[in-house]
Amino acid sequence: MLRILFICYGNICRSTMAQSVLAFMVRKRDLREFFQIDSAATHRDEIGNPPHRGTLQKLREVHIPSVPHRARLLTRADGESFDYIIGMDAGNLRDMRRILGDCRAELALLLDYTDRPRDIADPWFTGNFDETYDDIVCGLNGFLEYLREKGEIPHA
């Protein structure tokens, strides 16, 4: 089983959206047995809070159920228990490396798995949950293809 952890600053917008969308994608592709999916924050600002209302609204709009979630903080132990820890922007990646130190997990940004690696803008500041959703879907499709190419999940 692959253990995937998505990371953003507060764990209420981008990382929770990625968590819910990947859970939906693997369920639709009958790949649930291959994944355990979670998300966490690099900062304490939102710990214990549910996903942002903009994230929940966007998920409802595209008919994707939100996974039950309360924001939690990334811990050093996560680096040993997850296989992939995936951030949304360069600041997340810096914070992930600071918190995790040397770890066994593969660290990356979500859009690194696409042909257009870049940051996913934080909708907390932009207000654009549509763009965030589009970037997340693109990144997740690239990530699933990466896992297929590595032989970690079956080809559909």
Please list the active-site residues.
8, 14, 122
Strands annotated E in the chain: 2-8, 35-41, 84-87, 106-109
Q: Which residues of 84-97 are buried (b: 16+ CB within 10 A; e: fewer)?
A: bbbbbbeebbebbe
Q: What is the largest CA-CA distance in the chain?
A: 40
CB 123 within 8 A of CB 54: yes
Task: Tell whether the torsion through CA atoms of 84, 62, 12 and 131 is positive or negative.
Answer: positive
35-41/2-8 β-pairing: parallel
Please give the Cα distance from 148 to 133 (Å, whole number). Answer: 22
Which helix (H) or strand (E) segment holds residue 116: the answer is none
DSSP code of residue 52: P
